[in-house]
Each structure stands twice: as structure tokens, then as C-alpha cells.
Amino acid sequence: NNKNKTILLTGTAGFIGSNFVPYFLEKYPNYNLVNLDLLTYAGNLDNLKECENNPNYKFIKGDICNRELVEFIFTEYDIKGVIHFAAESHVDNSIKNPGVFVQTNVNGTYTLVDVAKKYWMEKPFTYKTEYQDCRFHHISTDEVYGTLSLDPNDLFTEKTPYAPNSPYSASKASSDMIIRAYVETFGLNAVITNCSNNYGPKQHDEKLIPTIIRNALNNNPIPIYGDGKNIRDWLYVLDHCKGIDLVYHKGNKGETYNIGGRNERTNLQIVDAITTILDKEVPQPNFSYKSLITFVEDRAGHDRRYAIDASKLENELGWKADENFDTGIVKTIEWYLNKYGICK
Ligand code: NAD
């Protein structure tokens, strides 16, 4: 009964959404995808060029906080599923300007979920029994859980209490709570995934890995916060997309699933891995890209360690990451070298 089903995707001109759309279009040729994105500084339609001519793909520029527009899209396109990526996503920006994070991440999520509830669950729409199958998938982050100790057995599970430390993670935690309330109070068919740090093609320049690659290739200092020992659990973006696909289709209503690659690395290990590859692939005489590493003042409230226990997703839905960090980072660097027109 998935024939010609139309799904609303939000935030698809950003990093993860723009990796997800071509993957999803190819895998599900019977779906129509309506993509809603405000094209903020983080959205770039070049990321979706490969989809432009696909008849199952439609792009709409607009704000997820615009209720009138969201209601129009639900009615006009008979939306039967939502996969919600749109967010303000950069922690540093949330420290400088928290307001827009609350607006987009909290109010925007509220608007989408409330329209979904109205359209799928309230009269006069409820007479369409098929709408009971309609699903809302909210994409979130492991940062909602706060920070971990350095004990390798200390991992975020779906039962870890929320303890967000930055305005970004607080706004994402709030949006998760709104989804939870719509499941508990109204019975909405929603799922949440909380994912660790992603890397791969099409990530915005402001993020750590693109910054390291770009600055190295331009012979500019590579800034590393504090002592460089903060740990993140890195996941190749396509493995995240595959996890979302599984949870959207097979996850249990009202459940949260953590997605993580079991690839913990300090920021120093990341910069070391990238500069080692660049020294080999784009060598410069008597020079190592490692000489560009520069320690800068730490980020305020910088969480020390994040790491995900993904066993629920692995055991219940059979998810497994295809890339480990060593293979994923090679693919990522290749993509950026191509972007900058550098032939090896
Ligand atoms: P991104 O910043 O690259 O892209 C966000 C997209 O949302 C952009 O295209 C932007 O134009 C759009 N957008 C922003 N405000 C909007 C609004 N008001 N209305 C409509 N569109 C709007 O983000 P990303 O890295 O692709 O992250 C996508 C989602 O995944 C986010 O919800 C983020 O919290 C979550 N997430 C990201 C990571 C990561 O490592 N990047 C990890 C875990 C979870």
C-alpha cells in the first residue's frame, strides 16, 4: 500500500537531508518526496542537483514555522509521512544566537507535528483509515544526553536521562519532548532517532572535518578547540541515512533509537588521520599538513565525550554501519578533493 505515497521531508538542502534524498528516491521509486527547506545559510540546492529532474521529487522553499504553508502542503500533496531533518544545527552559532535555535528547532517541530496530528488524526480526516499508518520521524542528536565520563563502558543508551548543555542541544531536547508528548497524549505514530556526529560529502564548511580539510588545502591554520581531547563518536552519513530508513519503516511507534558508529575519536585523532591522508595524497615538498594544527580557546560548555550504544537498533532492526572511520574518512576526503578540483 505504499504506491504513490507522498512523504514530506524537511531540511533536505542541508548536509544529512541532501545525502538522504538521492538514497531514498533510488530505493523507493514508488514514493513521492516533497522537500521543504528555508534555504538558510546552511541549505544549498547544489547539494540536490542530482535529484532535480526526478519526477518523484519536488522542492518547496519555505519555513517549517509557517503553519499556513505546512497545512497547505499537507492538504495539497496528501502527505502520509514526515521525515523531519530541518534544524539550526551548529553548536557555536547557538552560543552566539540561541533565539533562532528555539524558533526553528522547538517552534518549527511543534508546528509540523501539530499539523500532522490535525491532518492525520482529527475530523474530517480521520475517516480515511489509512491515515493510521502515517508516520512522523523526528531526527535528533546524541547531544541531548549531555556529556560522558572517559570510561569506555559509559555509553548513551535510549534510557540515558536528558541533560543538554548547549542552547543547540537544549532546543533539540525540547523538540524530542514535544514529539514524545504527541505520542503519549494524542497517540501520534511518531519515532525519534538520536544520532552521533556525522561526517561525509556535502557537510557545511563550518563543521570540524570540512574545516580541517579546507584549511589544510589552503595552507591555513587548522583550529583545534582546547586540548583537542574531546571525544565524539563518528558516523558516516550514509550509514545514518540507512538507519533512518530502517526506523521510519520498521521502528515501533513511540520508540527512540540511538544511531552511532562505535568510532570514538578525539579531535586530535581526527586531524591526525586527515593530515596523514593529505600528506600522502596531496604531498608538498618538505612540508606536513600537521604543522598547521593550532590550538584555540575552548568552546564554552564544551562536552567532553559522546559515545552511542546502538545495540537496540542493531538487535531489533538489524542495522549495521557499513563504514568504519578509516574507510569513511577516505571517501570523504576524496569527495572534498573533487569539490576543490584537486586531482590526485
Ligand atoms: P544542516 O545545518 O546541514 O541543514 C539544516 C537544513 O535545515 C538546511 O538546509 C536549512 O536551510 C534547513 N532549515 C533551517 N531552518 C529551517 C526552517 N526554519 N525551515 C525550513 N528549513 C530550515 O543540518 P544537518 O547536519 O544536515 O542535520 C540535520 C538534522 O540532523 C538536524 O535536525 C540535526 O539536529 C540532526 N543531527 C545532525 C548531526 C550531525 O552530525 N550533522 C548529528 C545528529 C543529528
Dmax over Cα atoms in the chain, in whole Å? 73
Q: Whose CA is nearest to atom 17 of ligand 1?
A: 63
pLDDT by 10-residue block (mean), the chain, 344 residues: 80 98 97 98 96 96 98 95 97 95 98 96 71 91 96 96 97 98 95 97 94 96 94 97 98 97 95 97 95 93 92 98 97 95 78
Q: Please provide the size of the chain in residues.
A: 344
Q: Identify whether 168 is a catalytic site residue.
A: yes
Query: What proportions of the chain, in percent to the nearest 5, are helix, strand and coil?
Result: 45, 20, 35
With cell 555509553, the residue in question is 155
Q: What is the dihedral of CA 146, 174, 105, 134, to 10 degrees?
A: 120
Distance 90 CA to ligand 1 centre (A): 9
Query: Would you state the pLDDT for residue 1?
Result: 46
Query: Would you state the pLDDT for residue 143?
Result: 96
Distance 23 CA to ligand 1 centre (A): 17
Q: Which of 322, 308, 330 is nearest to 257 (CA)?
A: 308
Query: Would you state the pLDDT for residue 128?
Result: 62
Q: Could you give the CA distance from residue 111 to residue 323 in angstroms, rounded to a whole number?
A: 35
Q: What is the DSSP letter of 260?
A: -
With cell 546552511, the residue in question is 42
Query: Would you state the pLDDT for residue 344?
Result: 63
**Where do the domains of the chain lie, and which CATH numbers do they carry?**
5-199+235-262+307-322 (3.40.50.720)
Q: What is the dihedral of CA 117, 18, 155, 312, to 10 degrees?
A: 60
Taking CB atoms and a 6 Å cutoff, what residues make up the pocket around ligand 1?
10-11, 13-17, 36-40, 42-43, 63-65, 85-89, 104, 108, 139, 141, 172, 195, 197-198, 204
Q: Whose CA is nearest to atom 43 of ligand 1?
A: 141
Q: Identify whether 88 is a catalytic site residue.
A: no
Q: Could you give the CA distance from residue 293 to residue 60 in angstroms, rounded to a whole number?
A: 41
Cβ atoms of 321 and 261 within 8 Å: the answer is yes
**Of the listed 143, 233, 264, 303, which one is catalytic?**
143
Q: Could you give the CA distance from residue 104 to residue 224 in angstroms, rounded to a whole number?
A: 29
Distance 170 CA to ligand 1 centre (A): 15
